[in-house]
A and B are shown apart, each in its own frame.
Chain A
Amino acid sequence: DGGITQSPKYLFRKEGQNVTLSCEQNLNHDAMYWYRQDPGQGLRLIYYSQIVNDFQKGDIAEGYSVSREKKESFPLTVTSAQKNPTAFYLCASIGQGGSPLHFGNGTRLTVT
C-alpha cells in the first residue's frame, strides 16, 4: 500500500528541547512538504523540497529545519527557537504533472 507515514502520532516535549518529526513516503514522489495546522487557522506551509538535497522555506519557516537526503524521507526538526511549537504537523507529497497533494496522518506535538 502506497502512502505517507508520519511518526510518532503523538509527541510530548519540554520547552527548550529540539524534536524531530519523521515523514516517509513510498509513492515515489519527488516533492515533499511540511504544513502546520492550528485550530481555526487552516494549514500553513513550513518547508518544502522538490528534489533530493534541496529545500525551500515556506511561509512560517522560522524555528524549524529540514533535510532531504533521500527521496523517501523528509524529517522536520522543531527547534527551541520556535516560539509556539505546540501544533498538528502534516507531511505531504505530490507526484508529477500537478497531481493533487497527498497527506500523511500527522503528528500532534505538545510542548510544555
Chain B
Amino acid sequence: QKEVEQDPGPLSVPEGAIVSLNCTYSNSAFQYFMWYRQYSRKGPELLMYTYSSGNKEDGRFTAQVDKSSKYISLFIRDSQPSDSATYLCAMRLGAGGTSYGKLTFGQGTILTVHP
C-alpha cells in the first residue's frame, strides 16, 4: 500500500463547476500538507501549504486537512479552463532533523475544465 493515495481521475468538468480533489495517507507522522499544480511539460508550482487540520482558503482554492481521518482535499470554485492541469498532493514529516524538501507525493489527478 502506498503511503499517499490520490484519486487518479482523470476529471473532466464544465467551466464554473466546483472541483474536489482528494488524497488519503497512512503515515500519521505527516505534519505538513501541500497541493501543487503542474501544467504540461512544466515543473509543479505550489498552490496551497497547510500545517494543521482545518480549512485554508486562497481565492478560488480551499485546502482542507483532516488529520484524524488522514484525508486532505483541494476544492476549486468557479473552475476555469486555465485550471486544466495535473494536481499533486504532497506531504512531509515534521521538523527535527528531517529535510524539509523530502516530500511524499500522490500519483496526481489530471483535471480538464472545458468551456
Q: Which residues of A contact B (CB under 8 A)?
A: 4, 6, 9, 31-33, 40-45, 48, 50, 56, 58, 90, 92-94, 98-106, 108
Contacts and interface: CB of A to CB of B under 8 A. Distances in A.
Given A40-B108, A42-B6, A100-B49, A48 B99 contact: yes
Chain B interface helix/strand/loop/mixed:
loop
Contact of A90 (B44, B49, B102, B108): B44
18 contacts: A4-B43, A9-B41, A42-B106, A42-B107, A42-B108, A43-B105, A45-B102, A58-B102, A92-B43, A94-B100, A98-B100, A100-B49, A101-B46, A103-B36, A103-B44, A103-B45, A105-B42, A105-B43
A22 B105 CA distance: 23
Size category, B interface? 20 to 34
User: Closest 7 A-B residue pairs measured CB to CB?
Assistant: A103-B43, A42-B105, A94-B101, A43-B105, A105-B43, A42-B107, A33-B101
Contacts, number: 67
Chain A interface helix/strand/loop/mixed:
strand
Contacts of A94: 100-101
A58 to B, nearest CB: 7
A16 B109 CA distance: 34
B103 interface: yes
B99 A90 contact: no
Contacts of A105: 41-43
Nearest to B48: A100
B103 A43 contact: yes
Contacts of A102: 46
B101 A108 contact: no
Nearest to B32: A98
Contact of A43 (B46, B49, B88): B88
B65 interface: no
A48 B101 contact: yes
A4 B99 CA distance: 19
B95 interface: yes
Interface string B76-115: 0000000000001010000100011111011110000000
Residue in B6, B90, B101, B108 whose Cβ sees the most chain A Cβ within 10 Å: B101
